[in-house]
Amino acid sequence: MKTKERIERHYGTGRILEAIKQGLQATGKDLGNLRVDDVSDVDEFHLGGRVASEHFFPKLSLQPGQRILDVGAGIGGGARFAADTYGVSVTGIDLTSEYVQAGREISDWTGMSEKVELNVGDATHLEFDDASFDGAFTMHVLMNIENKATAFAEVYRVLKPGSVFGIYDIVQRDPGDIAFPVPWADEASSSFLSTSEEYVSELESAGFNVEKVEDRYEFALGYFKMVREKMANAGGPPPLGIHLLMGESAKTKLGNVAGNLEAGLISSCEFIARKS
Ligand SMILES: C[S@@+](CC[C@H](N)C(=O)[O-])C[C@H]1O[C@@H](n2cnc3c(N)ncnc32)[C@H](O)[C@@H]1O
């Protein structure tokens, strides 16, 4: 099966927008008058959601008016957060067409369509000119990409010299087999976890200077504990959450992430790299 087909089959549910609409309505949100923050419980599809973004984005040195690339933008939560918070224009690409369609609609609802452009695209083959972006970021995408070196080389190519590339990803921590399914893959053949040392080495081989690596293991553990307690108190998942993006097996996938974290097999990690 081709990569795009495999990824779309994994992430697409056929009813993402409908599920988000229902979730927003159940939480009393007015679809005709939505702010970026109103959607953040569901559109930031990475460990720690908005809380993790608020920790990650300040390190990207974003300045108003810059043109920024979001590699694997999903339904565009990170892109809208960056555009709304820092006044940058964001171009997001993602392999899953259903996410791109849903993301465009949510940008319309939140009045962000002029600042955020979402298109179908592949991180390992970026359809942009050399040196066309002032910065780039990617969150929780590279676990789906076997050939990270190609993606890093592509991001390096499209960045202007001196630009920052930030990565927030799940990495392999201790050696060992993780439990599946997880939110990014149903089985081992679709999951390509690397250690943080491997990320650094491949970023450097692509030409980047790696300025900062921050392991977020304790944060990740604490975040899952908090989510579990919240769900136990509420008697189930909230109407609006990233489980809406994970289909029928959402509960198992999230449980496996928690188990893999507790076993010390995975961690979340930030990397800040710069094109010299
Ligand atoms: C867990 S989601 C993260 C989405 C988004 N970055 C966020 O944090 O909300 C992973 C995303 O990576 C995308 N993806 C996987 N492989 C890709 C590739 N080769 N090129 C572009 N996008 C890819 C998937 O379609 C999916 O939307």
CA neighbor of 227 nearest in space, from 216, 215, 217, 238: 238
| Residue 193 banded pLDDT, cuts 50, 70, 90 | very high
Q: What is the rounded average pLDDT of the residues 11-34?
A: 94
> If DSSP states are collapsed to H, E and C, what string results for 196-265?
HHHHHHHHHHHCEEEEEEEECHHHHHHHHHHHHHHHHHHCCCCCCCHHHHCHHHHHHHHHHHHHHHHCCC
In ligand 1, the atom with minimum distance to the C-alpha of 70 is 6
Q: Which residues contact 189 (CB under 8 A, 6 or more apart)?
A: none
Q: What is the rounded average pLDDT of the residues 219-229?
A: 92
| Residue 233 banded pLDDT, cuts 50, 70, 90 | confident
* Ligand 1 in reach of 140 Cβ (< 6 A): yes
pLDDT of residue 235: 85
Q: 262 alpha carbon to ligand 1 midpoint, in Å?
A: 24
With vertex at residue 53, the alpha carbon angle to CA 250 and CA 255, rounded to the nearest 5 degrees, is: 20
| Residue 1 banded pLDDT, cuts 50, 70, 90 | confident
Q: 235 alpha carbon to ligand 1 midpoint, in Å?
A: 30
In ligand 1, the atom with minimum distance to the C-alpha of 141 is 12
Residue 229 scores a pLDDT above 90? no
Q: What is the rounded average pLDDT of the residues 151-179?
A: 98
CB 54 within 8 A of CB 91: no
* Ligand 1 in reach of 44 Cβ (< 6 A): yes
Query: What CATH number does the domain containing 106 carry?
Result: 3.40.50.150
Find where tokens 């298109």 sit: 119
Name the domain count of the chain. Answer: 1
Give pTM, 2 decimals: 0.97
Q: What is the rounded average pLDDT of the residues 94-104?
A: 98
Edge-to-edge strands of the sheet including 67-71? 116-120, 89-94, 67-71, 133-139, 159-172, 266-275, 208-215
Q: pLDDT tens-digit profile of 115-145?
A: 999 999 999 999 999 999 999 999 999 999 9
pLDDT of residue 231: 83
pLDDT of residue 107: 98
Percent of the chain with pLDDT over 90: 93
Q: Report how far apart, in Å, the C-alpha atoms of 201 and of each of 136, 152, 205, 258 are.
A: 19, 11, 6, 28
Token pair, residue 158, equals: 């499209």
Using CA positions, which residue lies closest to atom 27 of ligand 1?
74
Cβ atoms within 10 Å of 1's Cβ, excluding its own: 8
Question: Rounded distance, CA 92 to CA 24, Å?
Answer: 23
CB 269 within 8 A of CB 214: yes
In ligand 1, the atom with minimum distance to the C-alpha of 122 is 20
* Ligand 1 in reach of 46 Cβ (< 6 A): yes
Q: What is the rounded average pLDDT of the residues 93-97?
A: 98
**Domain residues for 198?**
3-275
Q: Determine the length of the chain.
A: 276
Using CA positions, which residue lies closest to atom 26 of ligand 1?
74
Q: What is the rounded average pLDDT of the residues 256-268?
A: 97
Question: Rounded distance, CA 213 to CA 209, Å?
Answer: 11
In ligand 1, the atom with minimum distance to the C-alpha of 151 is 19
Q: pLDDT tens-digit profile of 28-77?
A: 999 899 999 999 999 999 999 999 999 999 999 999 999 999 999 999 99
In ligand 1, the atom with minimum distance to the C-alpha of 121 is 21
